Structure 1
């Protein structure tokens, strides 16, 4: 039996709920309604490491994460999430680019749908996928957060204030 532990981190973009087993981080999601938050569980070393790495990311000190993560999904979904991890900090790709990297340009809708099902925001950087027209589209955490994350990374990577 795998117990699931959880904690919260108040990021510059709002509260993040972080869930983990003893082996993997299984969820990092934005919480918009703080009224019914469950109390945090025991803080395991993995949860503590995840919070620390998120703090470093938001402070501009971390460009990639090296915590163990896992989310349940199909073989195709796992391939999409692995491709997302490969998008460099401060860079973006289009949904079409993502589908092509998966070997099937016709899979653009399936890739976009899987992108939206990502439960490991920031660490599995689904925010780095944008529209073919280079516009901001689709982000479960809200487009304002996607814009903030991309601008934050662009500033750290390139010294540029605004991307969008």
Structure 2
């Protein structure tokens, strides 16, 4: 693909008109679904659209990233930071779309996974109505990031109050019952 074509996408995504940004997102998404290398190269531009002032543009960017995330997309820590900031959105549609998108992606590091988990836990406290969507996101995040999840197991288990209780000694009379 020529550099001029890529520049057209950048100009389209930064255009002042809603329709132009929306059409650019749709075109970029279709092209990224066909060409995985283009998908990886367009990640930063898609993630950047998560900061758009118009809710429909943010939602479209999330949906586009969800569509191309099946092409072995791996998100970096800086991209995750931008994405997780959108979890504070008041719109349940955007939050649920974001949960779905996160559940389909792979992450590059333990730090990215830990911050994603912590943000989702905070999101669960803020919006208890998102519980099912967040639990599904946790499940799929673990499945898509097995090795990262394995390295965090001990830390994650220590967050549960049941696992923070001290063990009774084996010679304790209550243990014999």
TM-score range, shorter chain: 0.3 to 0.5
Of the two structures, which has the highest relative contact order with CA contacts closer than 8 Å and spacing of 6 or more?
Answer: 1
Determine which structure has the larger helix proportion and give its number. 2
Determine which structure has the larger strand proportion and give its number. 1
Give the structure with higher Rg (CA). 2
Q: TM-score, normalised by structure 1?
A: 0.32
